[in-house]
Structure 1
Amino acid sequence: MHNLIHSSVIDSDEMLSAYDFIGGVRGKHAQALREAYSVTVYHTDGTSTVKEFTPQDDLIKLEPDVQSYFPDAESVNRALRGLIALIPQQVE
């Protein structure tokens, strides 16, 4: 027997009681994702596709207190370019 979830429950902001996050560990897979990993996508026709992901060498992680000021990469780059413009040019 399948349990049907009515749309009124889905629209609610509350979690279903079936979801138990006690014992969950925040970020427990974060270190593994910093390394290369693969994801297998299983299609409805029975086939599967493996997609490989490698970490980006130029990826910079912002701390949460800094990240709250920047909604996207473009805003970070714009702010940094503004700071760079204030740095005196060094003549070699």
Structure 2
Amino acid sequence: MKDEYDLSKMKSRRNPYASKLKKPVTMRLGEDVIDYFKKMAEETGVPYQSLINLYLKDCVTQHRKIDISWQART
């Protein structure tokens, strides 16, 4: 190996994985939801934010849709 490398002549290129990177967002989650995922994180050794991301990603890949039905007041 060389002691030093000259990188000034290298051509730059776009990161092919840039579109796959995670994007930071701010969300308001219920304390019970956070506690649930934190407990699961302790059991699995996976950070709770990663668990939330994995769950949401599963919803996306399975095309899950939430059924919210509001009952009309009479």
TM-score range, shorter chain: 0.3 to 0.5
Q: Which has the higher helix share?
A: 2
TM-score (norm 1): 0.30
Q: Which has the higher strand share?
A: 1
